Structure 1
Amino acid sequence: MKKPNKILIVDFNGTSPTYTHYFSLALEDKGYELNILGHKNTMDLEVHNKTLNYVGFKLRNKLVNYLCNWVFLIVNAKSYNVIHIQWLPFLKHSVLDLWGIYVLKNRNRNIFYTVHNLYPHDETKEKTKRRFNKLYDMLENIVVHTNTTTENLRKLGYNRNIIEIKHGLFYKGLNKKNGSISNKMVMLGRICEYKGYEEALRALKVLIDEGANFSLHIEGAGSFNYVLKLESLIKELNIEDRVILKYGYIDTSRLIELYCDAFVALMPYKEIDQSGVVFTAFGLNIPVVANNVGGLKDIVQDKVNGRLVEQGNLREFVESIKWVYNNQTDLKNELLKNEYSHLWQQSADILSKYYNKI
C-alpha cells in the first residue's frame, strides 16, 4: 500500500500552538509533507528553531477567520491524504462545526480527531456536551492521550477506532538552571476554577504556619472574576507577601523562565483528562504535585517525577510539597533521563501505522 504523504493538521484558532508544533514536527520528521491550517501564534513559537508551514486565511476578525478556514478546509480536502483535526473550539457555542464535519466527510473520509479532553474545561451545559457527543458519533478515528479518555469514550458508547498515543514533552533541553535549588512554587497558564487554586493557596498557608519559606507564583489569562475571588482568598489567608498573582498572557520565554526558577508545579485539579501543564513542567525538568484525578494518574509517577495526592486531602498535599522540596535534585535528575525524550516520535510511529492503512 502506498504511504500517504500529504497531511493537513487543523488547529483553527491556534488553541495550543506549542502542542501543534511538536506534534506536527514529529510527523514531518517521518517524511510526511505537512501543512497546518489555522492561526499561527508567532509569540508562542518564537523559542523554536524550526518553523512549519501554515496555510489558510489570516484575517483579524477571529470568527470570520474561523469560518473562512472551514471553507478553505472543505475546498482543499481532496488535496490531502489525511486530515488530522486537533481542536474545534467553536463547537462549545454552536453546531457549525458539526455541519462542517458532515460536509468534510463527503470530500475526504480520512479524518482523524484528537480528543484532548472529553468536554471543554469547566463545561457544565448539557447542550454543549451533547454537541461533543454528536461529534464523536460522526468520527471514525479518534486519537487520545490517556486511558482515562478512552474509558470515557467507551462509556458514551463509542465503539470505533480509538488510537492511544503518548503526549510528548514541551521545551525539552531549554532549562539552563537544572542544578539550582529553589523555594518557589508555580501555577502557570490559563486561570480556571477546575485547576483548584484555592487548595494550593490553603496548602501554602499551612506551610507558612509550619515555618516553611515557600512562595507561590500564579500567572496567566482566563477568568478575571475568578482571579478577583483568588485575590480575596489571598487576603483572607493573610499570605499576600508569599503570593504573586498576575493576570494576563505569558509569552513563551517568560513562561520557561518562571518554570525554571521553581522547584515544583502545583496541580490540585478537580478534574482533567490530560493537561499541557504537566508536559511543560516535565519538559523543563520540574516535578509536580498533582491530585490523583483523570488522566494525571496515567502520567505522574508518585515519587518518581512528582507526587500524586488524593483529591481533597490538604494534609497529604502539604506533605507532598515538602517531600518534593527535599528531593528536588533527585527528581530533576530523573526527569533529565533519556526515556522521556522520544515520546513525540513514538506517537508519530503509532499514527503512521494508522495513516498508512487508509
Structure 2
Amino acid sequence: MKMTIVGPTYPFRGGIAQHTTLLCNTLRLHHDVQFISFTRQYPKLIFPGKTDRDPSKNALRSDPVEYLVDSLNPYSWYKTTQRIIQFKPDKIIFPWWVIFWAPQTWYIIKKIRKKIQTKIIIVCHNVADHENNVIKEKINRLVLKNSDILITQSKEETGKLRKLLGQKIATDSIQTGFHPTYADLCLDSPQHGGGTRTNHELLFFGFVRKYKGLDVLLDALALIRDQKNIHLNIVGEFWKDKQSYLEKIKELGIANNVTIMDEYVPNEQLGRHFLAADLVVQPYLSASGSGVSQLAYGFGKPVIATNVGSIGEVVQDWVNGRLVAPNDPAALARAIVESLEEDQLKKMQHEAEKVRYRFSWEKFAEMITEC
C-alpha cells in the first residue's frame, strides 16, 4: 500500500515529531511511505521555547524525508500537494495537535481531493487546544470534518470529537486507538541513573505550562518534604512564568528538595532522568493525553497522576500508579507517600514494566492500515 505522512520529524523536536517518526518507521516495514515534513514550523514570535530543533546526538530519524512545508509560505503548500499528487497514495496521514496548522492542512486536503482519490486520515493528539475558545472550535471543525477517518488515542478524546463534530461526520469515521509507548526509544537510551542514594526521587518531566499543575506538586511536596527524604527533579523547558515558580519554592521552604533543569532533554539523556526516579508525577489540571505517561512506562516507572483527560485510561490506580483528583495537594501528597512504601513501590514498578509492550507501534500501525 502507498501512504503519505505529512508531519514533523527530525531536526524538529518534541513528542509529536517523535510520534510521527516512529509511526512512519513502523509503516515502512510493510508499505511504501512518502514522508513530507517542514522546512519551518513556527515563527519565533509565537514559539515560546528556546528552539524547535532537536539537540539529540542520538536523534530519532526516518529516511528519506522530503522537507517541503513552510508554515508561512503558501507556495510551499502548493508544491506539497503536487508532490503528493505525483505519488498517488492510497492514504494520507496528518497528525493534528494545534490550531496553528489549520490553514496548511485544510489547503492541502482541499487541493488533493480535486485531483486524486485517496483516503484522508487525521491522527488527533489533541482534539482541541489546551487554551480553547469558540473561534478555535470552529476552525477545528472546519479541518477535521474534511477527513475520511479520524483516529483518537483515547476514549476521552473520542467523546470530545463527537461533541465537536455532532452530526457532521459518520459514526464509523471516528476510531478510538491508543497512545503507543516509547519502549524502543527508551531501550535505545543509555541505561544509567540508579546507584546508591538516600533520597526518594520524584520526576516532573516535560514543558512547564500552567495546565500541568506544577504549583500543585510544589504545595504537595511542602507537606511531605520531611518524610522519606523526598526530592523532586523538574526537568523541562519553562515556557513562561519561571520566576513565579522559583518564588513559590522559596516561600514554601523546599529549595533543598527541588532541582530544576530548565532545558529540552535530548534522547540520549532520557535514561539519566527516568531511571533515577522512583515515581513520575503528572499533577495536571487538565489534559487530553500525555506522552510522558508512556515514556515513564517505557522505562518501567510508576506514574502518580491526576484523573483528568485520558490519563486514567493508561494509569491504573494502585496497579501501575496512582490517580487523584486535580488541584488537591493533600491527596497528591498522600498518593506519593503511599506509593513510596517499599512493597507498594515494587509492585507498581513490576506492573509498569508490563505496560511497556501492551501499546505497541505495530498494533497502532495495523489500525491505520486497516481503516
TM-score tier after normalising by the smaller chain length = 0.7 to 0.9
Structure 1 residues 111, 347: CA separation in 2 closer, same or farther (over 3 Å shift)? Answer: same
Alignment of 1:204-223 (within 5 A): 204-208=221-225, 210-223=226-239
Equivalent residues of 2:218, 2:249 under 8 A apart: yes
Q: Is the 8 A contact 1:74 1:107 kept in 2?
A: no
Q: How does 1:57-206 map to 2 (within 5 A)?
A: 57=68, 63-64=71-72, 67=74, 69-78=76-85, 79=87, 80-87=89-96, 89=98, 91-92=99-100, 95-108=103-116, 109-121=118-130, 123-156=131-164, 157=166, 158-160=168-170, 161-170=173-182, 171-173=185-187, 174=189, 176=191, 183-206=200-223
- The aligned counterpart of 2:273 is 258
Aligned residues: 340
* Structure 1, unaligned runs of 5 or more: none
For 1:330, the equivalent position in structure 2 comes to 347
CA shift in 2, pair 1:223/1:296, >3 Å: same
Q: In structure 1, how many angstroms separate the alpha carbons of the residues matched to 2:102 and 2:352? A: 41
Q: 1:96 to 1:63 in 2, by over 3 A?
A: closer
Give the Cα separation in 1 of the matches to 2:56 and 2:76. Answer: 21
Would you say the 8 A contact 1:37–1:69 is kept in 2?
no
Aligned alpha-carbon RMSD (Å) = 2.7
Task: Give the CA deviation at 1:267.
Answer: 0.7
TM-score computed with the length of structure 1 as normaliser: 0.85
Structure scoring higher RCO (CA < 8 A, sep ≥ 6) equals 1
The CA deviation string for residues 258-301 of structure 1, in whole angstroms up to 9 with x for no partner, is 11110111111111111111111111111111101111111111
Question: Compared with structure 1, are the counterparts of its residues 84 and 95 closer, same or farther at alpha carbon in structure 2 (3 Å cutoff)?
Answer: closer
CA contact (8 A) 1:77 1:107 kept: no
AA partner of residue 52 (structure 1) = D
CA distance in 1, matches of 2:266, 2:300: 19
Q: Which residue of 2 aligns with 1:351?
A: 368
Distance 1:178-1:88 versus aligned 2 partners, 3 A rule: closer
Displacement after TM superposition at 1:44 (Å): 4.7
* 1:206–1:339 distance in 2 versus 1, CA, 3 Å: closer
Deviations 1:33-69 (A, max 9, x none): 1232114966458255x743211238xxx645x7565
1:280 to 285, 290, 295: 295
The equivalent residue for 2:260 is 245
* Offset from partner CA, 1:140-198 (integer Å, 9 cap, x none): 21011100111111112153201222221113435735986861111111111110001
Letter in 1 for 2:129: P
Partner SS state of residue 20, structure 1: helix
Give the Cα separation in 1 of the matches to 2:56 and 2:181.
15
Aligned partner of residue 244 in structure 2, secondary structure: helix
